[in-house]
A and B are shown apart, each in its own frame.
Chain A
Amino acid sequence: MTAYIVRRLFATLPVMAVVAVFVFFLIRFAPGDPAAIIAGEDATAEAIAQVRAKLGLDRPFMEQFFIWILQMLQGDLGVSIFSNLPVSRLIVQRVEPTVALTLSTLFVAVALAIPIGVVAAWKARRLVDRLVMGFAVLGFAMPVFVLAYILIYFFAVQWQLLPVQGYRPIAEGFWPFVESLILPSVALGVTYMALIARITRASMLEVLAQDYIRTANAKGLATDRVLLLHALKNAAVPIVTVIGIGIALLISGVVITETVFNIPGLGRLTVDAVLKRDYPVVQGLILVFAAAKVLVNLIIDISYAFLDPRIRY
């Protein structure tokens, strides 16, 4: 077990290395002169040179590379071009809302999608199943921001049940915090829910066709026991896999959702940085988001070993 975890841990290193190298090369091989573009439309030659120096683009290539690697290993993500603050500090300041939004979405999506998927598989080809599959197909096609505006229009503008926009930190009270997260979590979570419900249904269908399920039914076990203990447990691996894959969807969606709902998290930081062409911030955020994704995948991989003792890579 420990050996497996350690091996998986080491396997994440090359992935992160590729991400780091990619980000390093991106600015150096981008078409045109990135320094001129970052400096802005009517920047003087002097200003452009300043930006170039700030990004370290004026130094020899190999030197840049080693400085970059050393800084990264020390957790130094560089300095924002506009605010002159360390990128790592900007990121830490904005982490809380994003983590709150991601976790609440994860919770909403998983808590709703798995029961929906189980029921759909149980009642396969009946009306409930068709409705669930219909929802899944629609959920895949619905852009996050369109759904977000539809939700805002009804729940916040027409019926005035929930706040239109904004984020309240948990320190300001639990209810306002939850209230500010409901609409963003649902908007962000629907695609994710569709994905999980669909896989849960498919995986359950496969398991429900097995002999031991027939045996369990034949010996008179209650349906809920068969569905949850015998079937769902054995259907878990693909479901957990897709929950992991979906994290990527969530991270991309966070950027858009935070913009719609005006939540001051990492997503907003990204958009603000892009609009100001603050590349060091964008680059730091990519590393952080990629690391988060790699970490989630690692947790998923390790959870396999618990869910299915036969799995050992």
Chain B
Amino acid sequence: MAVITDDLALPPRRFSLATAIRRNPTITFGAVLLTALIVVAIFAPYIAYSDPFKIAPVNRLRPPSERWWFGTDQFGRDVFSRTVYGARVSLFVGLTVAAFSSLLGLALGLLCGYFRRVDGIVMRVMDGLMAIPSILLAIALITLTRPGLGIVIVAIIIPEVPRIVRVVRAVVLSIRSQPYIESAIAGGTKNAKLLMRHVLPNALAPLIVQSTYVCASAMLIEAGLSFLGAGVPPEVPSWGNIIAQGRTFFQIAPWTILIPGTFLAITVLAVNLLGDGLRDRLDPRLARRL
């Protein structure tokens, strides 16, 4: 007994950044990469050394050089500046979609897991939505509306929500049967308080992990949609659009595709690594299974 009390009496260890980094190399690497990309996106006007929209036919299809770091496209536009601005679109879409689908998915997931009567109907709808490949669902919505960043975001949110709902619902269902919930109910705790106090905190970790994957997937879908010509309007320098416009001249100017493509892959990689690291840290049971 004495040993145990001694153990508990130990002062809490001071938080040390160095230890945290050493223990979570994946999170650190992902977070640093992502932060760097976010900085690039925010300060795009200062980092890009020239106007990403400026057309200069004299300089068309120049290979990467000291003057044009990433070369130029078929209109003589500077690929470096366009790629830097493209980070804004990708990250904005990724983060917005992750935020909104998490909120929506969390609300629906709590509702489904907790109020069994809603569950049947909502989950059938979610199953149906999940049967439609996400890029097609987005395409269908985009066919029916005027092109714009807003509609692209909505079109990506709809197919991503069911993924969050499922995760949150599963957590809620497993918590519901726990004795402490029963005793809280017996003690007369109101539903709202029960959800906020006892259920929500448990659902948070898997929710955060899942939303990083949603963020990565949203960036890939946005780029895919732009690439197909069904994404953000063509004049917006998004990575997908830069790649789509480089297609015709790919064989003579591969840099117009490969460079923004690499940036897209690195960004998605950073978010995925952050997600993997957080999963290992926050949800060890799931981590062991993957």
Residues of A within 8 A of B (CB): 14-19, 21-23, 26-27, 30-32, 34, 37-38, 137-138, 140-146, 149-150, 152-153, 157, 164, 198-199, 202, 206, 248, 251-252, 255-256, 259, 270-271, 273-275, 277-279, 282-283, 285-286, 289-290, 293-294
Task: Scan residues 250-264 of chain B and give those whose CB is less than 8 A from a CB of chain A.
Answer: 250-251, 254, 257-258, 261-262, 264
Chain B residue numbers with a CB within 8 Å of A16 are 128, 131
Q: Which of B17-25, B99-107, B184-192, B220-228 lies at the binding interface?
A: B220-228
User: B3 near A: Cβ within 8 Å?
Assistant: no
Chain A residue numbers with a CB within 8 Å of B261 are 143, 145-146, 149-150
Residue of B nearest to A238 (CB): B289
A25 → B minimal CB distance (Å):
11
27 contacts between A and B (CB under 8 A): A14-B124, A17-B128, A18-B131, A22-B128, A26-B144, A141-B216, A141-B266, A141-B269, A142-B265, A145-B223, A145-B227, A146-B243, A149-B243, A150-B258, A199-B290, A202-B289, A255-B228, A256-B227, A259-B227, A271-B228, A271-B230, A274-B143, A274-B228, A277-B143, A279-B140, A279-B143, A289-B136
User: B89 near A: Cβ within 8 Å?
Assistant: no
Residue pair B230, A275 in contact (C-beta under 8 Å): yes
Residue pair B229, A18 in contact (C-beta under 8 Å): no
Residue pair A37, B128 in contact (C-beta under 8 Å): no
User: B139 near A: Cβ within 8 Å?
Assistant: yes
- Complex Cα distance, B108 from A101, in Å, reads 37
Residue of A nearest to B243 (CB): A145
Residue of B nearest to A278 (CB): B143
**Which of A137, A275, A294 contacts B131, CB < 8 Å?**
A294
- Complex Cα distance, B135 from A215, in Å, reads 48
User: B54 near A: Cβ within 8 Å?
Assistant: no
Chain A residue numbers with a CB within 8 Å of B129 are 18, 22
A99 → B minimal CB distance (Å):
16
Residue pair B139, A149 in contact (C-beta under 8 Å): no
User: B273 near A: Cβ within 8 Å?
Assistant: yes
- Additional A-B contacts beyond A19-B131, A150-B261, A282-B143 (14; CB < 8 A): A18-B127, A22-B125, A37-B144, A137-B276, A140-B272, A141-B266, A146-B258, A149-B258, A164-B251, A206-B289, A252-B134, A252-B221, A271-B228, A274-B142
B153 → A minimal CB distance (Å):
13
Residue of A nearest to B223 (CB): A143
Top 3 A-B residue pairs of the complex, sorted by shortest distance between their CB atoms = A18-B128, A146-B261, A141-B269
Chain B residue numbers with a CB within 8 Å of A255 are 133, 135-136, 139, 224, 228
**Which of A153, A206, A251 contacts B133, CB < 8 Å?**
A251
Q: CB-defined interface of B205-224 with A at 8 Å, one 1/0 digit per residue?
A: 00000000000100011011
Residue pair B228, A143 in contact (C-beta under 8 Å): no
User: B141 near A: Cβ within 8 Å?
Assistant: yes
Chain B residue numbers with a CB within 8 Å of A19 are 128, 131-132
Residue pair B262, A146 in contact (C-beta under 8 Å): yes
